[in-house]
Structure 1
Amino acid sequence: MLEIHGLDVRYGGVQALRGLDLTVAEGETVALLGNNGAGKTTTLSAVSGLVRPAAGRIVHAGEDITRTAPPKIVARGVVHVPEGRRIFSTLTVHENLLLGGYLVRDGAELAQRVEEVYELLPRLAERRFQHGGTLSGGEQQMLAIGRALVARPGLLMLDEPSMGLAPLMVAAVMQVIRDINLGGTAVLLVEQNATAALKIAHRGYVIENGETVLEGTAADLSADPRVAQAYLGGVS
């Protein structure tokens, strides 16, 4: 599905990623863990084509996409939900969802995809005529995810979906991500909330200063005392 080989990314004189290797298999949820500035967001941005690597390769479904333009990456079924949700606050929920299907030329097809999102996320259906800016933080995150789903991704990349949310809403968002994965969509999940991420992930990577320092199954990482100390509140 996705393979990252030896990825280097630089911002001016700052090296954000150093020889990063990462894979996501078909139907898999992979958690990418690390502190602020570790390189997690940069990894997603490189896959999305938003930043150009200085070295390394990004391969999707057997094809090198390292220098592919962002719209073509979306058309391949790789969709990125950015940190901070970035919904359109002055547009309605429904209008936000329609924008997720900007590559869909058939109106009936687009309408069907939006209805599928409403079925998965009934809270959005209840608020379809509300402006995005009037939603709670959790509802806005659901909207950001729903908008991505309209593109019917084969790989959904999520950047800090639990950020700023109350514990109950974090659990609800993680359940939605689990349901999406169970439906066959592969997920690459960037999270500082390692406890929540590892509960729904199959595997995970821990990166520090742009380099992979640990990788393994979610169960193994949860039990690793280094992960517990740094990311799970010291509880192994």
Structure 2
Amino acid sequence: MLEFDNVEVFYGKVQALRGISLRVDEGEIVALLGNNGAGKSTTLSTASAIVRATSGTVTFDGADISKAHPWNVVGAGLIHVPEGRRIFSTLSVLENLQLGGYLVKERGVVAKRIEQVFELLPLLAERRAQHGGTLSGGEQQMLAIGRALVAGPKMLMLDEPSMGLAPLIVAQVMQVISDIRDQGTTVLLVEQNARAALKVTDRAYVIEEGATTLEGRASDLIADSRIIDAYLGA
């Protein structure tokens, strides 16, 4: 569904991605693991056309999106939830969700998707009139995910959804991600909390210094001594 073929990215003279190749198949949850600065967020930004690949090819749903505009990528159904949630703090929960459907022409479709988000995330339904900035960190993350779902993603890319959240809330976020996949949306997950990520993912890639250094099924990686030493602890 999404494929990177030998993709390189530079920020000026600094190389951020060094020939990354990876794939995410339809119906999967795939995680990108790695330390800060490894290139995980750049990978998502390249897929969503916020960052332009210097070389290599990015393909989504059978089409080359390497030179696409971000709004075309969104229109194709590849939706990016960036790190830090980035909700509109002075708008209500409902208004934030409505903005997720900005490119959707049929208002009835947007309304239906918002109701589906409220079914998946009932806490947002209770908070629908509340300003986004007054929500807790976990609630804001749920709102950011809900807003992305209103866009109608074929595939959802999530950047550090557990950042700054208490362990109980992290577990809730990961359960929501699993539920989203079960409802038919493919997920690419960037996550520093490797233990939490590997519990819900099918496969994972490890990125180090802009290159993929390890890949495999989550059930194998969670028992791999290299992953345990680097990311999981004893």
Aligned equivalents of 1:23, 1:106: Cα separation in 2: 32
Alignment of 1:109-124 (within 5 A): 109-124=109-124
Computed over aligned residues only, the root mean square deviation of the Cα atoms, in angstroms, reads 0.5
Taking every aligned residue pair, what percent have the same amino acid on both sides? 67
CA offsets per residue over residues 105-158 of structure 1, 9 Å max, x none?
122121111111001000000000000000000000000000000011011000
Aligned equivalents of 2:56, 2:29: Cα separation in 1: 23
Aligned equivalents of 2:231, 2:137: Cα separation in 1: 24
| TM-score when normalising by structure 2 | 0.99
Question: Is 1:31 matched up with 2:8?
Answer: no
Return the letter of the residue paired with 1:215.
E
Aligned equivalents of 2:61, 2:95: Cα separation in 1: 31
The alpha-carbon deviation at position 104 of structure 1 amounts to: 1.2
Return the letter of the residue paired with 1:211.
A
Question: Secondary structure of the residue that 1:148 maps to in structure 2?
Answer: helix
Alignment of 1:7-156 (within 5 A): 7-156=7-156
CA offsets per residue over residues 8-57 of structure 1, 9 Å max, x none?
00001110000000100010000000000000000000000000111100
Count of matched residue positions in the alignment of Structure 1 and Structure 2:
234
The alpha-carbon deviation at position 173 of structure 1 amounts to: 0.3
The alpha-carbon deviation at position 194 of structure 1 amounts to: 0.1
Q: Where does the alignment leave 5 or more consecutive residues of structure 2 unmatched?
A: none
Aligned equivalents of 2:221, 2:16: Cα separation in 1: 23
Moved over 2 A (4+): none
Question: Is 1:174 matched up with 2:174?
Answer: yes
Aligned equivalents of 1:71, 1:63: Cα separation in 2: 15
Return the letter of the residue paired with 2:167.
P
Aligned equivalents of 1:8, 1:128: Cα separation in 2: 42
Return the letter of the residue paired with 2:163.
M
| TM-score when normalising by structure 1 | 0.98
Question: Secondary structure of the residue that 2:52 maps to in structure 1?
Answer: coil
Question: Secondary structure of the residue that 1:87 maps to in structure 2?
Answer: coil
Aligned equivalents of 1:52, 1:107: Cα separation in 2: 32
